[in-house]
Amino acid sequence: MKHGTDEQKNRYIMPMLSADEIWCQLLSEPEAGSDLANVATRAIKEGDHYIVNGQKIWTSLAHAAKFGILLARTNPDAPKHAGLSYFIVPMDLPGIEITPIVEMTGMHLFNQVFFTDVRLPAENLIGEENRGWELAKDTLANERVTLAREGAQWGWGPSARDLVNLVRERGGVPDPVMRQRLAQLYSEGEILRIHSLRMVADRLAGKPLGPESSTRKALSDPHGQHIFQIARDLSGSAGLLADVGPLGADPMWWANGFLFAPALTIGGGTSEVLRNVIGERILGLPREPDPDAGRAWTETRRTKGAQAK
């Protein structure tokens, strides 16, 4: 919506919003997660195509996606943030291989995606070549808001309110310590709900999305984990069962959610990295030292080993 041409917007946005066409994010790589600007997947322009080679990992829903957004390196001689470009990739192009990664929940959410001499039409570039980092930052800021909804599990799981209501329906809990934990959980949920309204109001007032998206995610990920920890504790020994504990309801919510919960503070930016953003961009603390600042990506420490191989 922000960086595409009119043709790109007309073609892609509506089917994306209606979910007629599922998309995935081809960002992370084995050596580029928190340090996303270290992406090594190469896109080399040849005539009216880019030739893409490399590997992505943790790509949620790549196996279901019709398109992916790809961050790839178009200029390895520029500093690492300045040589990246942002593309739209039809996931059925020849040379793309998708292999599943099964999580400890037993579900298959994410994948590895390998690119071997994939011919990507040049018109699939979004924005300008080598300016992809700006687009990636916009994507990540928006993702942080989407992931930081009130319900646990990035919005699609139960909320603190759901758990408290369930406990009420079951006649409450006699243990005062557990009651205190539930009250605290409920308060966290309310703070997040009100924070969310404030962010919506800011957007409606036309304010751009800033580093506050990191604050929100830093608060809501541990909150999601608290919901499942308390649900497990309420379940007692039956909480050890993989399917339906005494909390009943949808097993996806409780047993599966408990196993998924560690992922919350990793995906979309880890808690540690979010705290760096809050420290540097909101609190004005000194920036983390960057030994690679100003050096060409090919000259940075982490690529030297890879090139030697």
Catalytic positions, written as ranges: 143
Query: CA 26, CA 71: separation in Å to the nearest integer?
Result: 7
And the tokens for 20?
A: 């007629």
Establish if 290 lies at the interface with ligand FAD (CB under 6 A): no
Binding track, positions 91-120, relative to ligand FAD; x by CB under 6 A: -------------------x----------
Phi and psi at 127, nearest 5°, equal 70, -160
CB of 134 to ligand FAD, least distance (A): 17
Among 12, 23, 50, 58, binds ligand FAD (CB under 6 A): 58
Please name every residue paired with 97 in a beta bridge, in sequence order, or none if there are none: 114
- Cβ-based nearer residue to ligand FAD, 30 or 246: 30
Among 38, 41, 59, 303, binds ligand FAD (CB under 6 A): 59
CB of 97 to ligand FAD, least distance (A): 16
- Cβ-based nearer residue to ligand FAD, 148 or 273: 273
Establish if 25 lies at the interface with ligand FAD (CB under 6 A): yes
Residues across the chain: 309
And the tokens for 169?
A: 């329906």
Query: CA 88, CA 98: separation in Å to the nearest integer?
Result: 17
For residue 200, the surrounding DSSP H or E stretch is: helix 176-204
Query: CA 51, CA 64: separation in Å to the nearest integer?
Result: 23
And the tokens for 123?
A: 């018109």
Among 270, 298, 299, 302, binds ligand FAD (CB under 6 A): 270
Residues forming the site for ligand FAD (CB under 6 A): 24-25, 27-28, 33-34, 58-60, 110, 263, 266-270, 272-273, 276, 288
